[in-house]
A and B are shown apart, each in its own frame.
Chain A
């Protein structure tokens, strides 16, 4: 009954998450709004475009009730621009993720609910679920792309360039963690987690006694020097 999987999402689970992304469809049949558990869906009136979750779009596509309009970043022009950036201008880091909408206190929506795969998504950046989304759409709806083979080829190139970066990044890992990985994709996290986590945790266990000694020394210094911060011991955020 208990889940026999190690911590961290598996690739099928990442794909499941990705299927919650909204995509733009061009319906061929009417379908009124449905009261689903996750809120009402958009009503479909041909030929008006609507945004619906990917899992529903795939269902409609399979029954030839709708066409899926690929997001603007999943086109040969955008992908080759991003690929060039990944190779020429950002030799170590990933290309930056899509820009976030202005922040507000309560507004902390994150992928897969960010509207990064609809037809008005920004064309110049790869969203979090880029790999999964691209693969799923190329598999289920190749006829909705103008140049599916071109897109497929660019996706493969991008994947290779980025996997190489993920591997090269291993050199900077150390026991404390604290590695910034902006722009990383969901599937890349799932792939790299076991290795990156294993290396950092392994290094930490090797250096555990030294770290413990230092922690004690620091606590001692705090007790002696700055009594004010001593009670914030547990809460490192405010230091």
Chain B
């Protein structure tokens, strides 16, 4: 660690938690909008942000009666920002629900293995979604089939009928910390990923660097 690193550390530590949360939420939103699969639920971050939004709404409600023009303008600014935050959170959640809807069976089995993947409410939603869907299928036509053909998650013949997202879809990403050489399996592609680079690359080959280490962000 040299002096620049120490200075940089101090400057990020001096940044208020609110600003860091905004940066994290923005990054999570972009990643969720871009990545082909649902990313782990950022529980701590979302709890803090939801709490803050709730308090800010209470503040706006308390102050709406205030007729002082100066306070009024302050309120306009606060409300504008509130709407921006609500948009971010809503778009983030909706992007996740879109993926959960599309590959419901896949995420149901995945959520059982990775409890932190979905938020409790998302899991509830997913279970209700699947229950509705399978009841609908069985009342409308599945019950007329022989019992051996009634399953919705059959893996007979080595082929699973549960569809999952295509993890090799290409994404645009930005390298936040030097990663080194990344090889795309099955091809001749080798990339030397350095901080600040922008790459077009298969999601599967950078997934761990994005999700677990945070060395790369999606754009």
Q: Which residues of A contact B (CB under 8 A)?
A: 1-5, 7-9, 13, 16-17, 19-20, 31, 34, 36-41, 55-56, 59, 63, 97, 100-110, 112-113, 174-184, 186, 189, 193, 196-197, 200-201, 204, 211-212, 214-215, 218, 234-237, 239
Q: What 12 new A-B contacts, CB under 8 Å, besides A104-B1, A104-B12, A189-B219?
A: A8-B33, A20-B26, A36-B77, A38-B18, A102-B5, A102-B8, A104-B5, A105-B1, A110-B217, A178-B190, A214-B187, A215-B186
Residue B117, interface by CB 8 Å? no
Instruction: Report whether B186 and A177 are in contact in the complex, using a CB–CB cutoff of 8 Å.
Output: no
A197 contact from B9, B19, B30, B170, Cβ within 8 A: B170
Given A37-B53, A108-B177, A178-B189, are A196 and B170 neighbors across the interface (CB < 8 Å)? Answer: yes
* A102-B4 CB under 8 A given contacts A1-B97, A17-B26, A107-B11: yes
In the bound assembly, the distance between CA atoms of A171 and B18 in angstroms comes to 44
Task: Check B187–A179 contact: CB distance below 8 A.
Answer: no
Structural contact, A211 and B187, CB atoms closer than 8 A: yes
Min CB–CB distance A66 → chain B (angstroms): 12
Question: Does B195 make an interface contact (CB < 8 A)?
Answer: yes
B76 lies within 8 A of A101 (CB): no
Contact A9/B26 with A181-B200, A189-B219, A200-B200 known, Cβ cut-off 8 Å:
no
Closest-by-CB residue of A relative to B185 is A215
Q: Say how far B147's CB is from chain A's closest CB, in angstroms.
A: 33
Q: How far is the CA of A2 from the CA of B100 in the complex (A)?
A: 9
Residue total for B at the interface (Cβ-Cβ under 8 A): 81
Q: Which 10 A-B pairs have the closest CB atoms?
A: A176-B189, A176-B187, A102-B4, A104-B8, A39-B19, A2-B98, A38-B22, A178-B189, A3-B94, A39-B18
Q: With a CB–CB cut-off of 8 A, which chain A residues contact B153?
A: none
Kindly identify which residue among A59, A103, A235 contacts B77, using a CB–CB cutoff of 8 Å.
A59
Determine whether B41 belongs to the interface, using a CB cutoff of 8 Å to chain A: no
Taking the complex as formed, is B208 at the interface, i.e. its CB lies under 8 A from any CB of chain A?
A: yes
